[in-house]
A and B are shown apart, each in its own frame.
Chain A
């Protein structure tokens, strides 16, 4: 236990450095060495050209990617757990392979594909120029949705495997249509899983550097914009934004945990009532 607490302490050190250096007034253009305490960066958090645009783009893509990936992944998880269809194995592999592919290979392949839509037949005629190339927010979004879908599927599936299918069968036997059985029984039970999957997708998209780097082109996304900025300067505002993202993510995670545990209690009482009935 002592080792664990020590290790957690060490894990926190870079975060402490980030918080401390957001209050630094650096001597040169690079915020790498401590000079003196200052609130300047916090009073003007977006005072670096393009920072607000890049952060806005990143948040927009993360939000949309989470929504689309959840919309695609949840039905996929339902179909993969609750059916005995032939070809399910193939669909399973299709979901798992993106998890075993290094991001760089996927990002590179996606870039090659986007480039191919303007240079290789038959794509040249099939896909009009401007849809997938030149690169932009839409191409980043496609990449993020693609690697997020698998994570949503496994999160929702873990939740679906957590309760027996007899609950929805009971509803069907009692005369509910599939639609009603889904919305009244299954959906409330898997809602925490869907929420967790969506949040995970949001966090993964927000955090992603590699796929973004390959698919953003000249569009300013926070991580790739920062990567090129770091060669010229490193203003303390970067740490301020880092602290903001940290605070927002931690509160979102706490909220999700609280909501999930409340839902588990609701589900447990529902299950108890069904048992009694």
Chain B
């Protein structure tokens, strides 16, 4: 009895292994050929010499690391812009996305799906058409500036388009759903009774709320004014902005955040925050379309340099090197962040 049972089962497992390989093969081969191979090819071109016309000579016969030598100094402002503008956009997306996701998850009731749909709806049109709308909105004759001029807040020479702030605004807008969706699914999973339990155990208002809010708000507002203006503003302006931010931050955080939120719900939603940071940070740091359409020559990011080297100057060797460096910097940042959060499994959970 046992013998006759064992044989078909072994056959079944062998045929199953074949089946799994057949299922895996097409997708794996496709990704290997059209994803891994191109990245390796780019790495190889980055240490080659030559051009589109003459062809490239590269490894193993020829190695030239000099393409990498002056990339950081040549493109220092691009790297700075990517980090500052992409970083601010990521922070703003999280600050705006978290309350949205929190409210929908905890108070959405039977309108949860409808509200999520409304958050995502603006992204159902073409990416570039959305940026065109932003250009119209922020433009010198757009509705927003006309309104501000009529009310008398903005002077005639005041512009919004072409500033670093416009690039950050555009990026923030484009990336909000990438933060709201993972945050929502992380918060929605939490048991609301956790809050009741925390309150039963004497969780009250958050004691450090006012101080923490003031610190965060001050840094954010001061930093934003200092780094996102067209030209560096005088120190008094930065100070005023920082003080205003501190007041606003302390009021918001001190009033709205209870101990049960800070010590229970916030840490438990960390997987969502982690996923949201990656999903917004990676595109934000790699972006170049917002920077070129909403910004000015002073707001060019690493992506702009890569795109122009590849598509305008046809300097494939430098372009490949810059692209490779950019990617390595980002992967190191992601790896560091993953370690810092201690969230190896989180990524798997999130996807």
A residues engaging B (CB < 8 A)? 1, 3-4, 7-8, 11-15, 17-18, 21, 31-34, 71-73, 75-76, 78-80, 83, 85, 91, 94-106, 108-113, 115-116, 119-120, 142-143, 145-146, 149, 153-154, 178, 203, 206-210, 213-214, 222-223, 226-227, 230, 234, 238-239, 241-243, 245-246, 249-250, 253, 257
A-B interface pairs (CB < 8 A), number? 249
Residues of B within 8 A of A (CB): 16-17, 19-24, 26-28, 30-32, 34-39, 41-42, 44-45, 50, 52, 55-56, 58, 96, 99-100, 103-104, 107, 113, 115, 117-130, 132-137, 139, 141-143, 173, 176, 278, 282-283, 285-289, 293, 303, 306-307, 310-311, 316, 319-320, 323-324, 326-327, 330-331, 334, 347, 351
Additional A-B contacts beyond A104-B323, A105-B39 (5; CB < 8 A)? A12-B121, A14-B137, A75-B22, A91-B24, A242-B133
Q: Which of chain B's residues have a CB closer than 8 A to the CB of A253?
A: 117, 120, 124
Do the beta carbons of B126 and A222 come within 8 Å of each other? Answer: yes
Give A7's nearest chain B residue, CB to CB: B100
| CB-contact partner of B38 in A11, A109, A120, A230, under 8 A | A109
- Complex Cα distance A226/B24, Å? 38
Interface of B (DSSP majority class): helix
Question: What's the minimum C-beta distance from B168 to chain A, rounded to whole angstroms?
Answer: 15
| Distance, CA A111 to CA B176, complexed state (A) | 29
A11 and B122: CB pair below 8 A? yes
CB atoms of B23 and A76 under 8 A apart: yes
Asked if B122 contacts A103 (CB within 8 A), the reply is no
> Using Cβ atoms and an 8 Å threshold, which residues of chain B touch A112?
38, 41-42, 45, 310, 316, 319-320
The residue on A at minimum CB distance from B102 is A4
Q: Which residues from chain B contact A85 at a C-beta distance below 8 Å?
A: 17, 20-21, 24
A14-B134 contact, Cβ under 8 Å, with A120-B56, A149-B31, A209-B289: yes
Asked if residues B133 and A108 are in contact (CB atoms below 8 Å), the reply is no
Measured between alpha carbons, how far is A17 from B42 in the docked complex, in Å? 41
CB contact between A214 and one of B45, B55, B136, B310 (< 8 Å): that residue: B310
Contact: B45 with A108, CB < 8 Å? no
